[in-house]
């Protein structure tokens, strides 16, 4: 079954069907009730994601509020992505991977040089993607908070240490998020090549927004 068939089987219309290019940013508004499906086309591609209330960018995804409300640091089906004050932004309604990271953050030129050496100082990183795409919506560096890393495998050991290891995802695996209010979704399709988060080979992902048939939103 192709992705399009899977989506239409749920009796929904496609509002948007786009490719977030390898190493590049992407963003869109997802209306309340619509669903965003992210397809990891080639497997093991980290999709760094921030979410804002489309009508008030001051209301934004909070890792701390999301983790404390669900009492788990990993995201999967049923996880509600919340703002600082606990408002529901999006809910994961389907997930073929089972485990998405909330703690590892976004790569930056600064963190790359610290971890991997000064020769990485001029490599493109997620923070640059967020700033480029955020500028389209009037967002700047102060608006960047701790992000979600969809499809990224960051196990936490019993002693509390964490690592970025080979992904659990695979080509074609997908997850779907239902918007609980109108939201802006800001994505960096991670360009990192110094650790296994993208299998050392960043690849494109597919972004599909669908609307339930009969919905007027």
Which among 164, 145, 185 is positioned nearest to 38, based on CA atoms? Answer: 185
Q: Does 192 bind Zn ion (CB under 5 A)?
A: yes
Q: Does 164 bind Zn ion (CB under 5 A)?
A: no
Burial (CB count within 10 angstroms: exposed 0-12, middle 13-18, buried 19+), residue 106: buried
Q: In the complex, what is the shortest distance from the CB of residue 33 to Zn ion, in angstroms, rounded to a whole number?
A: 30
Which CB sits closer to Zn ion, 126 or 179? 126
* Cα Dmax for the chain: 55
Which CB sits closer to Zn ion, 35 or 102? 102
Q: Does 126 bind Zn ion (CB under 5 A)?
A: yes
CA 122, 63, 94 angle in degrees (round to 5)?
Answer: 100
Which CB sits closer to Zn ion, 54 or 191? 191
* Interface pick for Zn ion out of 63, 75, 107, 183 (rule CB under 5 A): 107
Q: In the complex, what is the shortest distance from the CB of residue 72 to Zn ion, in angstroms, rounded to a whole number?
A: 23
Which CB sits closer to Zn ion, 193 or 208? 193
Site string for Zn ion, 58-87 (x = CB under 5 A): ------------------------------
Q: Which stretch binds Zn ion (CB under 5 A): 37-45, 134-142, 144-152, 184-192?
A: 184-192
> Residue 68: in which H helix or E strand, if any?
helix 63-70
Q: Does 190 bind Zn ion (CB under 5 A)?
A: yes
Residues 48 and 159: their CA atoms lie apart, in Å, by 26
Q: In the complex, what is the shortest distance from the CB of residue 133 to Zn ion, in angstroms, rounded to a whole number?
A: 13
Coil, strand or helix at 70: helix
Q: Does 148 bind Zn ion (CB under 5 A)?
A: no
Instruction: Please provide residue 118's backbone torsions phi and psi, each rounded to the nearest 5 degrees.
Output: -65, -25
Coil, strand or helix at 89: strand
Which among 120, 91, 93, 94 is positioned nearest to 108, based on CA atoms? Answer: 120
> Which residues make up the interface to Zn ion (CB under 5 A)?
107, 126, 190, 192
């Amino acid at each position: 079954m192709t992705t399009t068939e899977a989506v239409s089987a749920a009796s929904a219309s496609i509002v948007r069907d786009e490719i977030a290019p390898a190493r590049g940013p992407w963003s869109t508004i997802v209306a309340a009730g619509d669903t965003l499906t992210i397809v990891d086309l080639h497997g093991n591609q980290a999709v760094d994601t921030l979410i804002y209330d489309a009508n008030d960018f001051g209301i934004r995804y909070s890792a701390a509020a999301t983790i404390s409300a669900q009492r788990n640091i990993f995201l999967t089906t049923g996880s509600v992505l919340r703002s600082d004050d606990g408002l529901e932004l999006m809910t994961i309604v389907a997930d073929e991977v089972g485990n998405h990271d909330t703690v590892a953050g976004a790569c930056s030129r600064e963190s790359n040089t610290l971890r991997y050496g000064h020769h990485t100082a001029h490599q493109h990183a997620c923070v640059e993607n967020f700033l480029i795409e955020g500028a389209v919506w009037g967002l700047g560096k102060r608006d960047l908070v701790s992000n979600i890393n969809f499809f990224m495998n960051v196990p936490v050991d019993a002693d509390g240490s964490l690592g970025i290891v080979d992904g659990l995802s695979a080509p074609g695996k997908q997850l779907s998020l239902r918007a609980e209010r109108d939201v802006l979704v800001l994505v960096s399709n991670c360009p990192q090549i110094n650790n296994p988060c993208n299998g050392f080979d960043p690849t494109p992902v597919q972004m599909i927004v669908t609307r339930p048939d009969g919905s007027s939103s």
